[in-house]
Amino acid sequence: MSHPTPFETTFDVRFCETDALGHVGNTVLVQWFEAARDPIFSFFTPELDINNWPLILASYKVDFHQQLYYGKPVTIKTYISRIGGSSFDVHQQVWQNEQHCATGLTTLVHFDFATQRSAPISDEVKAEMARHLLEQ
C-alpha cells in the first residue's frame, strides 16, 4: 500500500467556535474542511479565481470520533480518496492532541457553468490528484 502525501492545514480553535458544552460546534468542521481544500481547488484554478471556479459540491459527510476543544490547535489532513471521470472524493481528518477526532468525506464535481453540466477532469489534474490518493 502506498503512503500518499496529505495536505496539512493547521487552525487555532477560536473561542467563538465553541458551543455551550465547551467543545467545538459540529458545523465548524465543515468550514475547516472547506478551507483546507484550497490546495485541491488550485489543481483546477491555480489562482483560486472565483470568476473561474470549475467545481461544485455534490455531498459531504462528517463522522465525529472525539470531542474537540478550545485552546489547542487542530490539523486537517486532506487526501483524495476517489478519482472519477468528472467527480472525485476528498477524505479529510481532524487531529488534535495527536488524536484523530473527526473524518470528513466530500464529493466534488468538475463543472462547466456555461453548459450547466459536469466536465471531464484532465489527465494532468488526475495525475496531480493521484499523488495524494489515499487507498482505502
Q: Cα–Cα distance between 74 and 101 in angstroms, integer?
A: 9
Q: How does strand 55-64 pair with strand 99-112? A: antiparallel
Give the predicted TM-score (pTM) of the model: 0.92
* pLDDT tens digits, 5-26: 889 999 999 999 998 888 898 8
* pLDDT tens digits, 74-104: 999 999 999 999 999 999 999 999 999 999 9
Total domains, the chain = 1
Q: Cα–Cα distance between 115 and 112 in angstroms, integer?
A: 6
Using the predicted structure, report yes or no on whether residue 2 has a pLDDT greater than 60.
Answer: no
Beta-carbon count within 10 A of 53 CB: 13
CATH number for 24:
3.10.129.10
Cell, residue 50:
472565483
Where do the DSSP E strands lie in 1-136?
Answer: 7-11, 55-64, 74-83, 87-96, 99-112, 117-118
* pLDDT tens digits, 34-82: 999 999 999 999 998 988 899 999 999 999 999 999 999 999 999 999 9
| 2 within domain boundaries | no
| 92 within domain boundaries | yes
**Domain assignment of residue 118, given as a range:** 7-130
| 135 within domain boundaries | no
Q: Cα–Cα distance between 80 and 6 in angstroms, integer?
A: 9
| 112 within domain boundaries | yes
